[in-house]
Amino acid sequence: MFQPAKRLHLAGIILFSFLGLTGVAGATEYPVDQRDLRFEPDMLTIKAGDSVVFTDTDRITHDVTIVNPDGTSQDKGMSTFNQHITVKFDKPGVYLVHCRIHPDMKATITVGTP
């Protein structure tokens, strides 16, 4: 049988392994679908440290470009049918999301303090 110290060590390994798989404690992933030439939902409020998973369920290619609160932008690349692009938002602010291929596809992500 395991000694108490070894049990505690084993429990710590299991806990840290679990946290490594699920990310930061309290962080949440929010789905945003790209379908029918729009982001769904097109408005989302999350906390700093949370992530958004963009999934393309249209049968056409889309782009995910994010304009940060400071005006700089991040091109997260193209997505094809059923592809996922995960973006973590660490800083509070309002982020504007759009598809460069389809300019009418827009979304707003508001990031609050944790």
How far is Cα 81 from Cα 63, in angstroms, rounded to an integer?
12
Order of strands, sheet of 84-88, starting from the edge strand that comes earlier in the sequence: 38-40, 29-35, 51-56, 84-88
Please give the pLDDT value at position 91. Answer: 97
Domains of the chain by range and CATH?
27-112 (2.60.40.420)
Backbone angles phi, psi at 104, to 5 degrees: -80, -10
Per-residue tens of pLDDT for the chain, all 114 residues? 545 444 444 344 333 334 444 445 689 999 999 999 999 999 999 999 999 999 999 988 999 999 999 999 999 988 788 899 999 999 999 999 999 999 999 999 999 998
How far is Cα 86 from Cα 57, in angstroms, rounded to an integer?
15
How far is Cα 66 from Cα 105, in angstroms, rounded to an integer?
12
Please give the pLDDT value at position 24. Answer: 52
Please give the pLDDT value at position 79. Answer: 76
Please give the pLDDT value at position 42. Answer: 98
Ramachandran region, residue 91 (left: φ > 0; alpha: ψ -120 to 50; beta: rest): beta
For residue 22, CA distances in Å to 13, 17, 28, 30, 92 come to 14, 9, 9, 14, 22
How far is Cα 99 from Cα 102, in angstroms, rounded to an integer?
5
pTM: predicted TM-score of the whole model, two decimal places = 0.76
